């Protein structure tokens, strides 16, 4: 297959790029490197089946080089994706998900054979009133707050995808991605697991927001990209599917596990809870099991060991 991945130098995108190259496909990556790094593609950049274009997908001219290129699948992952990133780049986040989604769908509008996979997020559920979260839940989202640039941008991207599906017959599929971790995370991206690992390895206090009893469900990145690959392979036109690990743990438990695995003596300290921070987050993945034949395989301890090794080696911690 010939596959386009926007945000392909990012955390998840780089793993998806590597997976498709390993499977023998031709991969085109568009990334403006705003919150990602070419280092994530170091092992792949010499591969003749990889073409890298540094461009901002929210700008229409960024697609001029590929306008006449037919793709079997288009993955739209380009967007700041952690609280620190999208609070630093709120307009870029809005534009990547709004204009970027629109431009890509225009690109494939007359190519009904192309499968478009939108990387949406569990953040469309907001601070959920339904637990665990199923794809039929509409969410509890604040449209006017510090997280709205990301939450509402993704909800808009889903709406655009739905509109192209119904109006033009585009083959759109939506992956609602829950918390994911693993190698190629950035050191200062503000995600829970990267924060705690960096703090533990550097001997700093482990910061936990609120009382730490809020819960998350963390999926190891190689499991997640396996599911994303299946999103293009399966006959699931128009489907919305949760992708994540349903193993739900408190943030306190995560912090304690990371401290134990790193051998750190850092104390755990509590900080005020950020505005609109969800209290619970757990995916219902029955649909992914049924339609994709997928469920995560990596347990948290093994995934954390691999991620800790990555941070030690890449950032010399």
The 10s digit of each residue's pLDDT in 58-105 is: 998 889 989 889 999 999 999 999 999 999 999 999 999 999 999 999
- Residue 203: which of 138, 259, 282 has the closest Cα? 259
User: Global pTM?
Assistant: 0.96
Quick check: is 168 catalytic?
no
**243 contacts 219 by C-beta, under 8 angstroms:** yes
Give the pLDDT of residue 43.
Answer: 86
Catalytic residue from among 150, 164, 181, 220: 150
C-alpha pair distances (Å), 266 with each of 28, 187, 211, 214, 307: 43, 18, 17, 21, 18
d(CA 9, CA 3): 14
Higher pLDDT, 215 or 46: 215
State what percent of residues in the chain have pLDDT above 70. Answer: 100
Q: What pLDDT sits at residue 171?
A: 98
Averaged pLDDT of the chain: 96
| Cα 96 from Cα 77, distance rounded (Å) | 9
Tokens of 148: 């709205």
Q: What are phi and psi of 272, to 5 degrees?
A: -60, 145
How many alpha carbons fall within 13 Å on the CB side of residue 110? 4
More confident residue, 273 or 257: 257
> Is 148 within 8 Å of 161 (Cβ atoms)?
no
pLDDT at 194: 97
> What are the pLDDT digits (tens) for 10-24?
999 999 999 999 999
Q: Tell me, what DSSP letter sits at residue 56?
A: -
Per residue in 116-160, pLDDT tens? Answer: 999 999 999 999 999 999 999 999 999 999 999 999 999 999 999
Predicted confidence at residue 60, as pLDDT, reads 84
Tell whether the model's pLDDT for residue 273 goes beyond 90. no
- What angle, 0 to 180 degrees and rounded to 10, lies between the N-to-C axes of helices 148-168 and 90-108? 10
């Amino acid at each position: 297959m010939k596959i386009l991945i926007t945000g392909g130098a990012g955390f998840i995108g780089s793993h998806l790029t590597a997976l498709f190259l390993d499977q023998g496909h031709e991969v085109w990556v568009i990334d403006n490197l705003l919150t990602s790094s070419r280092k994530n593609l170091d092992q792949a950049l010499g591969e003749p089946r990889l073409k890298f274009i540094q461009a901002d997908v929210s700008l229409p001219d960024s697609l001029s080089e590929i306008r006449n290129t037919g793709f079997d699948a288009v993955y739209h992952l380009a967007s700041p994706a952690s609280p620190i990133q999208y609070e630093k780049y709120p307009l870029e986040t809005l534009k990547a998900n709004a204009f970027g989604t629109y431009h890509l769908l225009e690109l494939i509008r007359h190519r009904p054979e192309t499968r478009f996979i939108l990387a949406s997020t569990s953040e469309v559920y907001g601070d959920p009133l339904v637990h665990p979260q199923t794809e039929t839940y509409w969410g509890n989202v604040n449209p006017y707050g510090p997280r709205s640039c990301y939450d509402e941008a993704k909800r808009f991207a889903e709406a655009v995808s739905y509109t192209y599906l119904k109006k033009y017959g585009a083959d759109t599929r939506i992956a609602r991605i829950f918390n994911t971790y693993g190698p190629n995370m950035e050191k200062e991206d503000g995600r829970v697991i990267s924060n705690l690992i960096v703090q533990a390895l550097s001997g700093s206090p482990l910061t936990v927001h609120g009382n730490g009893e809020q819960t998350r469900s963390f999926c190891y990145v190689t499991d997640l990209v396996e599911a994303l690959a299946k999103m293009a392979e399966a006959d699931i036109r128009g489907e919305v599917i949760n992708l994540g690990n349903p193993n739900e743990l408190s943030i306190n438990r995560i912090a304690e596990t990371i401290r134990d695995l790193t051998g750190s003596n850092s104390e755990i300290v509590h900080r005020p809870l950020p505005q609109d921070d969800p209290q619970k987050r757990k995916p219902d993945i029955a649909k992914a099991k049924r339609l994709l034949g997928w469920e995560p395989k990596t347990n948290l301890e093994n995934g954390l060991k691999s991620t800790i090794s990555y941070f030690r080696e890449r950032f010399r911690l």
